[in-house]
Amino acid sequence: MSGTATFDEAGYRAEMRADWDAAGAEIVEYVDDLESGLGLVSRRLIELAGLRPGQTVLDLGTGYGEPALGAARAVGPSGRVIGVDLSPVMIEVARRRAAGLGNVEFEAADFGAVARADGSVDAVLSRFALMLATDRTRLFEGCARMLVPGGVLAAAVWGPPTANLFVTGLVALTRELGLPSPPPDRPGAFALSSSELIVEELRAAGFAEVDVEELVVPFRFADAARYAGLTQVVMPRGLHRLAVQRLGSEDALRELFERAAAAHLDPDGSLPLPSLAYCVRAHT
């Protein structure tokens, strides 16, 4: 996938980096909320990769260090984990969370440009990042090349938005502002929301066998306000600016997210937002 001729890859990457730098500055406050759902995905990816002590692992788009930190525990002191993320702010958060672990390091870089020696990595992990790549062909071919023969790519991507209640607030905002859906060939949260496409792209990149399974991420927030606060932190900055301008204030945006979430509240006021993920296991 390389997008259409008019797609500005460099501009997209700069925006992506700025978005996640902005999120990284505030996300620490929400890591526990997120991991109460996403922890399940990390555990499954580590299982699918079959990590063993002594192995070398790459985590692409590691964000605040997931699933790199779990992988570091799985490969033990004789193993090595390298987490890569475009956002230097996220990488700083990941480094702080890794304090005390001697076998994990983090690099601020574009995962499309990561170059390790051919056949030098036992497993590539990635949790909710591969669909953001500007050139998945290049990325997947690079992963296949860096892996040892029989090495494993274990990655999670989002299923379709209709099966993803985590984006309830953003769906409501898009409707409220009358914004069009993004073109289907552009990178984004739902660019790999088809198991057929995942299999096709990874097979074409040289992976011998590709399996995709569904996993429901059991997000649950203490209340709608907590969810609205997190959505304000992780939403793209351009959309945030537009929303505040059109709705009139940050408070109005928060209220819109809370109203959208209200339909899903449990009687105790907590907010379950189950969201479908695809977990992929591909080996060379």
Ligand X SMILES: C[S@@+](CC[C@H](N)C(=O)[O-])C[C@H]1O[C@@H](n2cnc3c(N)ncnc32)[C@H](O)[C@@H]1O
Window contacting ligand X (CB under 6 A); options: 126-134, 146-154, 251-259, 260-268: 126-134
By CB under 6 A, tell whether 66 contacts ligand X.
Answer: yes
Q: Could you say which of 15, 26, 110, 141 contacts ligand X (CB under 6 A)? A: 110
Query: DSSP character for 120?
Result: -
Query: Of the two residues 20 and 190, which places its CB atom closer to ligand X in the complex?
Result: 20
- Residues 6 or more apart whose CB falls under 8 angstroms from that of 160 comprise 190, 193, 194, 276
Cβ 45 to ligand X shortest distance, Å: 10
List binders of ligand X among 158-197 (CB under 6 A): none
Among 33, 85, 201, 258, binds ligand X (CB under 6 A): 85
The one segment of 99-107, 124-132, 191-199, 257-265 that binds ligand X by CB under 6 A? 124-132
CB proximity list for 181: less than 8 A, separation 6 or greater: 174
Closest residue by Cα to residue 209 from 199, 223, 222? 199
Residue 108 is classified by DSSP as: E
Kindly state the greatest CA–CA separation across the chain.
56
Least distance (Å) between residue 133 CB and ligand X: 6
Assess 112 for contact with ligand X (CB under 6 A).
yes
Alpha carbon distance 140, 146 (integer Å): 10
Q: Concatenated DSSP letters for 229-266?
A: HHHHHHS-HHHHHHHHHHHSSHHHHHHHHHHHHHTT--
Q: How many residues bind ligand X (CB under 6 A)?
A: 22
Residues forming the site for ligand X (CB under 6 A): 13, 16, 20, 38, 61-64, 66, 84-87, 90, 110-112, 127-129, 132-133
